[in-house]
Amino acid sequence: MPNSATPTHCPYCALQCGMNLTPTPDEGGGAGAGVEVTERADFPVNRGALCGKGRTAPALLSSRVRLTSPLVRNDGVLVPATWDEALDRIAGELSRTRTEHGPDACGVFGGGGLTNEKAYALGKFARVALGTSQIDYNGRFCMSSAAAAGIKAFGLDRGLPFPLEDIPKTGCVILVGSNLAETMPPALRYLTELKENGGTLIVIDPRRTRTAEQADLHLAPRPGTDLALALGLLHLVVAEGRTDEAYIQDRTNGWEEARAAAMAHWPEYVERITGVSVPQLREAVRLFCEPEAAMVLTARGPEQQSKGTDTVGAWINLCLATGRSGRPLSGYGCLTGQGNGQGGREHGQKADQLPGYRKLTDPAARRHVAEVWGVDPDSLPGPGRSAYELLDALGTDIRALLLMGSNPVVSAPRAAHIEERLTSLDFLAVADVVLSETAALADVVLPVTQWAEETGTTTNLEGRVLLRRRAITPPEGVRSDLDVLHELAARLGVEKGFPTDPEEVFDELRRASAGGPADYSGITYRRLAEESGVFWPCPALEAADDCEDASLDVLQDDPAREPTGDGGGDGAGDAAHPGTPRLFLDRFATEDGRARFVPVSHRPMAEEPDDAYPVLLTTGRVVAQYQSGAQTRRVDELNAAAPGPFVEMHPRLAERLGAGEGDAVAVVSRRGRAVAPARITTAIRPDTVFMPFHWPGEGRANTLTNPALDPTSRMPEFKACAVRVEAVK
Ligand code: SF4
């Protein structure tokens, strides 16, 4: 392996910060080598800046808690086994389950941290090698409402339809339910630069977070009322004559219905629902409408609700009514969270989708992908259950589960119930790098390679496809997820079609995605090695010439006008499309090229507070931990910075409980009870408590959360449920 610095990307969040990895000199880059992170200033997204998670990411590569041998459960105990023993047992159990109960009794669960190649191979494995429809992934818990709303309005979902570099150049940003200071600190500079350039920042969050402290205007609505808030703003936009009528006429459909719905939401009514005053609403409208360009960016706050799709739809309506979307330096975008949250949803591990972000129910899409896979289109299963519904069916309809890159014991809503479902399975196999809380329940655990030990691509929150490079040799005893799928497929009788070389998988992914909404066919490893990423859609030009897919018209408008700014060199012979940093500038990806307003109305959260459960719980993250904490809780420096959960509450609530700072308090919902120390602050509403969700055990926040699902996206309502809070004597 190379002894010099290898440019690559962080294994954690969707910013996918660039970094250099250098094997430490005494190890010389051999097996099990140490590696250090150094600045990679040439990568434009983070320009060398990293948060503590990225800086300490190598710690897990050589950690003593890392798995380096397969484990199989014998007499109730996980014991080391050979790879053949472990793989034979998984294939045997999946095969037996399929024979006895049918293919849909086998489930597959993936993750938004898997590379594009792994997500693609996992979806293909489920549908071709197992023949099951029962596959979904933890990204369903992350961004699915924004994706559903984006597809409804624009005909296409790409988290940000513009690069991050546009943010400082706009006039106003409304940041809804995002705490960038904790989730992706290097991105905060885009907001700082926005303000330095004279732009304004509005933050909408029930808590005065470190991000909200940067805002010119902070609105703190009651959790679960973001939809009403957006409708109230749109009402005022109309009432104050601030709509862009020419844009609405030229570029949209459905305005009258959406307008009528918004006009039913009087500002005083919205004030009563949200707790945000009418003068604050008016000020937000003024700040948003006065500049020539403005953006709305949402994250998990408005999205993780049982009405998340409509809530995001309401924010998109605001952007459309004011002529923002599809205009330079303007529009709506979603800040995706997981490392490959964007690419992970594009290549076939979602219950309802095929690679290239194609619909599984579209006959033409099935024919195209089946041809690439060399199978009969009629042999491909239809859509399966969404993530929570899949987990909820474990032990009943689904008897055996293969899980990669996820830890639902900590991250799923109503987590104690999901833990019980996992233990009721006939068979559970987990591939992971450590013995996560979910892996500890498995019958077979497979130790797999980590980010710095393997090559693969991810797609960051901008839709920028990136190359993560192998920098060190993996330790003996671990194998890549691609290797695992190859071996399992062979044992299930599918000898071909599951290569272990990531570039070979990517080349097949390119063909499978060609002509689809998320077209990667013009992107090659060679280009990615030479450029600072390539924005999809990026069709191979000869494919674009042939393609009749209407969505490609959007792309074909762009190349001449919109170079990537990252070099855009061809680097790949015929694959010379420059990529598409900015979408929708001439037309949206709908059939007629016009954006669609979606009429939406306020409705309450699935579980409103009452006498028994009078307080609202909202959940989120802290800067030193990542998602379920399976990786970051095992890094000493991060653990020291954030050693455990807490319950953030207002002094008035603490006084009523008689609780002081650090005192143990119990938070109780209809689904269970969690205990953690109180953290008392005026930065949260008096009617709300906040818990971070990174920890298992008695402080597990997701013991409490409500799995009520959004009817469109099937997103659970993580962000708001009713609880009571008790002092623990
Ligand atoms: Fe990694 Fe995200 Fe931190 Fe960047 S912000 S270093 S990508 S965790």
ipTM: 1.00
C-alpha pair distances (Å), 354 with each of 133, 186, 518, 538 = 12, 33, 11, 18
Task: Please tell me the distance between residue 551's alpha carbon and the centre of ligand 1 in angstroms.
Answer: 32
Task: Please tell me the distance between residue 334's alpha carbon and the centre of ligand 1 in angstroms.
Answer: 17
Task: Please tell me the distance between residue 462's alpha carbon and the centre of ligand 1 in angstroms.
Answer: 14
Tell me which of 8, 9, 10 to substitute to probe ligand 1's pocket, judged by most ligand atoms within 8 Å of the beta carbon: 10
Which atom of ligand 1 is least distant from the CA of 187? 5
Would you give the DSSP letter of residue 127? Answer: I
CA–CA separation, 677 and 11 (whole Å): 30
When the pLDDT of each residue in the chain is averaged and rounded to a whole number, the result is 92
Tell me which of 15, 43, 191, 451 to substitute to probe ligand 1's pocket, judged by most ligand atoms within 8 Å of the beta carbon: 15
Whether the CA torsion 579, 583, 587, 588 is positive or negative: it is: positive
Domains, the chain, ordered by start: 71-141+342-451+478-523 (3.40.50.740), 144-334 (3.40.228.10), 615-727 (2.40.40.20)
Task: Please tell me the distance between residue 440's alpha carbon and the centre of ligand 1 in angstroms.
Answer: 27
Burial code (b: 16+ CB inside 10 Å, e: under 16) for 175-200 equals: bbbbbbbbbbbbbbbbbeebeeeebb
Burial code (b: 16+ CB inside 10 Å, e: under 16) for 274-303 equals: bbbeeebbbebbebbbeeebbbbbbbbbbb
Task: Please tell me the distance between residue 590's alpha carbon and the centre of ligand 1 in angstroms.
Answer: 34
Give yes or no for a contact between 685 and 222, defined as CB atoms under 8 angstroms apart. yes
Tell me which of 8, 9, 16, 17 to substitute to probe ligand 1's pocket, judged by most ligand atoms within 8 Å of the beta carbon: 17
C-alpha pair distances (Å), 529 with each of 275, 385, 534, 597 = 50, 37, 10, 40
Would you give the DSSP letter of residue 432? Answer: E
Task: Please tell me the distance between residue 344's alpha carbon and the centre of ligand 1 in angstroms.
Answer: 17
Burial class (CB in 10 A: 0-12, 13-18, 19+), 427: buried
Tell me which of 40, 45, 47, 51 to substitute to probe ligand 1's pocket, judged by most ligand atoms within 8 Å of the beta carbon: 51
Q: Pick the closest to residue 114 from 9, 18, 16, 11 (CA basis).
A: 11
CA–CA separation, 321 and 296 (whole Å): 13
Atom 3 of ligand 1, nearest CA residue = 51
| pLDDT for the residue 26 | 57
Ligand 1 is surrounded, with C-beta below 6 A, by 10, 12-13, 15-17, 46, 50-51, 53-54, 184-186
CA–CA separation, 162 and 151 (whole Å): 16
The ranges of the chain with pLDDT < 70 are 1-3, 25-33, 542-575
| pLDDT for the residue 3 | 62
Give yes or no for a contact between 515 and 552, defined as CB atoms under 8 angstroms apart. yes
Q: Which two tokens stand for residue 462?
A: 């901008």
Looking up tokens 């972000």, which residue turns up? 357
- The pTM assigned to this predicted structure is 0.93
Task: Please tell me the distance between residue 514's alpha carbon and the centre of ligand 1 in angstroms.
Answer: 30
Other CB atoms closer than 10 Å to residue 39's CB: what's the count? 15
CA–CA separation, 238 and 560 (whole Å): 37
**Residues 6+ away with beta carbon under 8 Å from 575:** 521, 522, 523, 524, 527, 538, 540, 541
CA–CA separation, 433 and 449 (whole Å): 7
Indicate the helix (H) or strand (E) that contains 73. strand 71-74
Task: Please tell me the distance between residue 184's alpha carbon and the centre of ligand 1 in angstroms.
Answer: 6
**Residues 6+ away with beta carbon under 8 Å from 225:** 273, 274, 275, 602
Atom 5 of ligand 1, nearest CA residue = 184
Residue 363 CB-half CA count within 13 A: 0
Burial class (CB in 10 A: 0-12, 13-18, 19+), 211: buried
Which atom of ligand 1 is least distant from the CA of 10? 1
CA–CA separation, 160 and 150 (whole Å): 10
Angle ∠(142,132,90) on CA atoms, nearest 5:
90
**Residues 6+ away with beta carbon under 8 Å from 372:** 508, 511, 512
